[in-house]
Homo-oligomer: A and B are copies of this chain.
Amino acid sequence: MTMLTAGILIIGDEVLSGRTQDTNSNFIAKNLTSSGIKLEEIKVIQDVKDHIINSVKIFSENYSYVFTTGGIGPTHDDITSESVAEAFNKKFEMNKEAFNILEKYYPEGEFNESRQRMAKMPSDVQLIYNPMTAAPGFILNNVYVLPGVPKIMEVMFINILKNIKKGKPKNVMTLNTNLYESKLAPYLNDIQKKYKDCSIGSYPYFNFLSKTGGVNISISSWTMDSLDDVVKEISEMIKLNGGNYSIV
C-alpha cells in the first residue's frame, strides 16, 4: 500500500510579517495524521503570483493532496484562485454554481463586483461549500483551495475530509517521564534501532520557575498494529534508571 501524503501551502503575508499566528496548518495536520495521511511539508509563502504558481505545481507533483489556505477573498490581494488556474493552465472564469450561491446569499442589490470576484475560479473545478459565509473554495486535481479565516476553513476542511481517500491512521503513544532527555538518549537510540518501523521522538520541556522538567516520548508508526512492545521496553528502561513514567 502506498502511503497517502500531503503538503500545506499557507498563502499569507500576514503570517510572514508576524501579524498573524497561523493555526490552520496545525488543525489540518492533526486531522490528516488521524486520517492516515502523512503531512510531509508546510510552506508559508508571500502573496506573490509567481511564488504561488510555482509552489502549487511542485506540491501537486510531490504529494497526494495539497491544501492551500488564504487569498480567496474579495480584495485585490486575494490572488490564490487565479494563480491556481495559471498553475494548471486553466481559464480563470466566473463559476456559475458559485455565482448562484453568492447571489442568493447576499441581500438584493448587495452582490457587488468585489463579491462577484469570489465566484471567479479556474475552469473545471469542484466546489467546496462554505456553510458559514457562503463563498466556496474549490478542488482542482489534487489541490484543495480553502479560505484563511480559521473558523471557516476548519468547517470546510472537515467536510472535505469526509469525502477523500484516507489511509491507516498513525498509531501513536506518548510516555511522560521525569528523567532528563540526555539520560534517556542512548537507551532510546538502541530501542529505535531495534524497532525500525516506528519512530521514537523525545520532546523535553522545562518549567523555568520551578526548575523542574521532563520529557514526552512519542512512539508512532504508520504500519505497526501494536506499539505495546516498544512502550513496554521504554517504560522498563525508565524504571531501571530510577525514573517515573506515565502514559499520556
Contact = CB atoms under 8 A, between A and B. Distances in A.
Contacts of A13: 199, 201
A48 to B, nearest CB: 9
B40 A29 contact: no
Interface string A206-221: 1010000000001010
Contacts of A199: 13, 77
A61 B232 CA distance: 46
A188 B75 contact: yes
A223 interface: no
Contact of A31 (B10, B18, B31, B151): B18
B25 A44 contact: yes
A26 B22 contact: yes
Given A21-B23, A114-B186, A170-B17, A202 B77 contact: yes
Given A76-B192, A186-B113, A206-B149, A16 B40 contact: yes
A14 B201 contact: yes
A16 B37 CA distance: 11
- The count of identical subunits is 2
Contacts of A115: 182, 185
A38 to B, nearest CB: 8
A197 to B, nearest CB: 15
A181 B77 CA distance: 12
Interface string A104-138: 00000000111101100000000000001100000
A182 B32 CA distance: 32
A231 interface: no
A27 B118 CA distance: 32
Which of A18, A33, A182 has the most B CB atoms < 10 Å from its CB? A182
30 contacts: A15-B26, A16-B39, A16-B42, A18-B29, A18-B30, A19-B172, A41-B44, A41-B45, A42-B42, A47-B201, A73-B202, A74-B181, A74-B182, A75-B184, A75-B188, A76-B185, A76-B189, A76-B192, A77-B201, A112-B186, A114-B181, A114-B185, A115-B182, A115-B185, A117-B185, A132-B206, A132-B208, A133-B206, A149-B204, A151-B208
